[in-house]
Chains A and B, each alone.
Chain A
């Protein structure tokens, strides 16, 4: 590739246990205003090794985006109350000063967003916007920044990159714009990329291309990626690990195979059952009854209990702790160790 980037992280050594790239402990985020307090994230803990791809899945409003924004401290100051502990690389995110966090953003941690249509500044050229980031973090000249921007556009396979360098965002198609966005995010070789539904707004074919590109770049750069999606198919394709979120908590965590093929939380099971899998096309699509809880008034116990078939009094009064049902596999459910027979989808 045109860009020489040091390979770090996962590929380097697997024998000695590596320090996790990301460590989140008991993260909570509340949005406070005069009328109500929205408890968007309620005690998320996770660890992620360098060079790993973690997918967060969960239905709308479960707090995926808020978790991501908390990691890069992009939540509105004053309105969002964040507590807990977050470490990325050598940075303790919550203890950084305003100045320090801007240094980290875009260099150690980058983020790409869902809507390529609106995520880029409409009055600056693509090249300018990428170069601005490079100049900001590496202190080089505008000219060097532009040269780097060109290289980056070639890396993300934007055809006739030279011409695109001086194009404005509205002159590019959605797929190209998202590629430009990826180029921008990768411009300072981040060790963690936060991707918030980066392919949701794209057509299916473009979506696949972008996914393949992301996966390839991620491997080459050895960077960790936290990838939010609604689409289990996307998760299956790109993830190493999967975390399932429900009402601001991670209810299930494990490797892709384990979570998607042998789910153990009733919510994950229900979600997978209501999903049209290739081989079960004829089967009834089973929806989860009820609706997600009101984040302004969370139930005292397991947030999923009101919708859960197996819930008992314990579930309704105590929040289940995350328990390891197998190595590297966490579930927040009292019933998880012994799933009732016939619950599992499959043969």
Chain B
């Protein structure tokens, strides 16, 4: 009975799909983003925060370091102090604007450094394979065995705090996950046909890495890195909050939150302000990263 089979002509080809408008990948991504109002809104938010930090000297109404015994812990809207003053009588608004500089710097730098270092390590491990891969990835596994907060605190705590130590600690925290993502992506790409073909046609290792591997590894690594920015900002502020990051009297949101904590019985709303700034920034980065990932359709 099985000898009566449907012939090839019976299955019509799906020309309808082919006839659909063929859009380029980036065009599709752009199209999706254009109608993603949440992502657009929070991208605007990030731009505002960044501009505020860059132009802090121009925007801040007062000197963020100028203390005043007379105007200590004034409420929101007190005279010329739009957002009140802190425990040393410094203008909160000015300190929040200036604090954005430190907080963004402390949040972005470790992710950028870790993307370069972790990404490179991962690409090398994935491309070379073998022993070197074992060595790199097992080392990463060890660092994976520390919860991120603990690792950051352990390193910066023993090194004795300070901004540069904080940056080193945070970079160290983000290298393993980025390395893992890069390694997985590279190992996948490495075995694909077109890379084999390039190798067979005599392309050098360097040019293979440049042309094929980086192109396919960069997207997942960057998307993942973008999702780490929010974590990094939270952690960096947390370190400053513990006294392990930025040192007083430099304005930094985490540090401000920590010093103002003693004053919650006096001026609770002013005390909560730096946290609001951290929250809005981290929320914005999180939502934009989510939006990008959805638009680019990358799974990490």
Contact = CB atoms under 8 A, between A and B. Distances in A.
A270 B7 CA distance: 11
Interface stretch (B8-16, B141-149, B202-210, B283-291): B8-16
Contact of A291 (B2, B3, B6, B15): B15
B12 A292 contact: yes
Classify chain A: how many residues form its interface, as a range.
Answer: 20 to 34
Given A291-B12, A291-B15, A292-B12, A276 B2 contact: no
Interface in B106-131: none
B4 interface: yes
Contact of B6 (A208, A231, A236): A231
B9 A233 contact: no
Contact of B4 (A60, A204, A207, A236): A236
Contact of A275 (B6, B12, B14, B16): B6
B197 interface: no
A275 B15 contact: no
B200 interface: no
Contact of A288 (B1, B4, B10, B16): B10
A287 B5 contact: no
Interface string B1-35: 11111111111111110000000000000000000
Nearest to B15: A291
A275 B5 contact: yes
Classify chain B: how many residues form its interface, as a range.
Answer: 10 to 19
Contacts of B3: 233, 276-278
Contact of B1 (A236, A274, A287): A236
A271 interface: yes
A277 B3 CA distance: 7
Given A232-B6, A286-B9, A294 B16 contact: yes
Contacts, number: 70
A288 B7 CA distance: 10
A276 B4 contact: yes
A274 B4 contact: no
B280 to A, nearest CB: 33
Nearest to B1: A233
Nearest to B12: A291
A59 B1 CA distance: 20
A274 B12 CA distance: 12
B173 to A, nearest CB: 36
A230 B4 CA distance: 11
Nearest to B19: A294
Contacts of A291: 12-16
A237 interface: yes
A75 interface: no
Contacts of A276: 3-5, 7
Contacts of A61: 12, 14
A274 B8 CA distance: 8
Nearest to B9: A287
Given A291-B14, A291-B15, A294-B16, A285 B9 contact: yes
Interface in A189-234: 204, 207-208, 230-234
Given A231-B4, A294-B16, 6 more contacts: A236-B1, A275-B10, A276-B7, A287-B10, A288-B9, A290-B12
26 contacts: A59-B11, A59-B12, A60-B11, A204-B2, A230-B6, A231-B2, A231-B5, A232-B5, A233-B2, A236-B1, A271-B6, A274-B6, A274-B7, A275-B4, A275-B10, A276-B4, A276-B5, A277-B4, A285-B8, A287-B8, A288-B9, A288-B12, A291-B12, A291-B13, A291-B14, A294-B16
Interface of A: 59-61, 204, 207-208, 230-234, 236-237, 270-271, 274-278, 285-288, 290-292, 294, 296
